[in-house]
Amino acid sequence: MAIKKQDVNPEDDLGFGTQAVRQRIINRDGSINVKRLGIPFFSTTNTYHRLITMKWSSFWLTVIAAYIIVNVFFATIYLSIGISNLHGTADNNVTDPFLNAFFFSAQTLSTVGYGHISPAGVVTNWVAAFESMIGLLAFALATGLLYGRFSRPSAKFVFSDNILIAPYPLTGGRGLMFRLANMRLNILLEVAIEVTFSFNEVVDGKTVRRFYTLPLERSKVSILTLSWTVVHPLTEDSPLYNITEEDMKSSNATFNVLIQAFDDTFSQTVHSRTSYQHNEVVWGAKFTPAFVHDENGLVQLHLGKISDYTKI
């Protein structure tokens, strides 16, 4: 086995412990592939987390469903008090009393309050006063969530599909490298990257998981304007100095990538993650330029070419 044990620093882990795992911990899209049992379902923060991170289609379905359910609830109340306490329904050209109550409820909840249907009697007036209050608060939550989703800062990087093992002239040997660029219009500043190499090792007959933070030729750039080729030089000090394709496969090798940056539009720190597994490593290849020149000779970055490489 070419992975040098003495280089494995127990301090450099990702909080995974030495639990031997068969699964990829970080998925390619940055999500975490470990299930946790016992998380309370109805906590405020978890509800917020779900509503902020769910798909747009699910979000809109949730909002519309909630709007209808609340109106059905209040319509039932108005109906049970008596439809005669809603004045003006005769002119509404709607014969179903429930629908009349439903539409009055919708006009109250949204505070549009045309008034062609209006509440009468003490109880109905109380319910309407309460519903309009609830409506304002509920819509505030919905619109807060809508804006929160819309304005939520998040980094989105395009990563090369593969990690390459290529000649790296600067250190006179080979280098392990991948490439990334910013997919957003935002300007990213103070971009810092951390690459952790993890693999299984048999210690005293028991398989344990080892983690090793790879030193990078450069781990931080002040501003990310073009693409960035992240390089771990395979020098003698590297635990991967003599590693072979077979070593990587047998030890279930994984490269976890954590990125932190400052987003200039949102003025907030953002993070992104990805991972590469041993079968996503290409041996003996180098990236081809992702730049094009426009008619004025100005450099342009083509995001679709980030993954392009040639075998050598």
Applying the rule CB under 8 A, the residues between 181 and 220 that interact with its own copies are: 181-187, 189-191, 194, 196, 217-218
Among 246, 264, 279, 288, binds its own copies (CB under 8 A): 264
SS (H, E, C) 165-208: EEEEHHHCEEEEEEEEEECCCCCEEEEEEEEEEEEEEEECCEEE
93 binds its own copies (CB under 8 A): yes
Rounded to whole angstroms, how far apart are CA atoms 199 and 205?
16
311 binds its own copies (CB under 8 A): no
Q: Do 180 and 160 meet the contact criterion of CB atoms below 8 Å apart? A: yes
9 binds its own copies (CB under 8 A): no
111 binds its own copies (CB under 8 A): yes
Among 7, 27, 43, 246, binds its own copies (CB under 8 A): 43
Taking CB under 8 A as the criterion, which residues in 142-161 touch its own copies?
142-154, 156
69 binds its own copies (CB under 8 A): no
90 binds its own copies (CB under 8 A): no
Overall residue count recorded for the chain in this entry: 312
End-to-end CA distance of the chain, in Å?
26
267 binds its own copies (CB under 8 A): yes
- Nearer Cβ to its own copies (61/183): 183
Least distance (Å) between residue 242 CB and its own copies: 26
Q: Do 214 and 195 meet the contact criterion of CB atoms below 8 Å apart? A: yes
Instruction: Centre a 10 Å sphere on the Cβ of residue 1 and count the other Cβ atoms it contains.
Output: 14
Select from 175, 207, 166 the least CA-distant residue to 19: 207
Region from 92-100, 197-205, 235-243, 277-285 binding its own copies, contact rule CB under 8 A:
92-100
Rounded to whole angstroms, how far apart are CA atoms 59 and 72?
20
Rounded to whole angstroms, how far apart are CA atoms 241 and 4?
8
- Nearer Cβ to its own copies (6/267): 267
Amino acid at 176: L
25 binds its own copies (CB under 8 A): yes
295 binds its own copies (CB under 8 A): no
Region from 198-206, 227-235, 236-244, 279-287 binding its own copies, contact rule CB under 8 A:
227-235
108 binds its own copies (CB under 8 A): yes
- Nearer Cβ to its own copies (43/242): 43
27 binds its own copies (CB under 8 A): no
Least distance (Å) between residue 279 CB and its own copies: 19
Strand partners, 311: 285
Among 27, 58, 80, 225, binds its own copies (CB under 8 A): 225
Least distance (Å) between residue 167 CB and its own copies: 16
Rounded to whole angstroms, how far apart are CA atoms 199 and 138?
49
38 binds its own copies (CB under 8 A): yes
The SS3 call for residue 33 is coil
For residue 149, give both structure tokens. 């989703």
Taking CB under 8 A as the criterion, which residues in 233-262 touch its own copies?
258, 260, 262
The SS3 call for residue 293 is strand
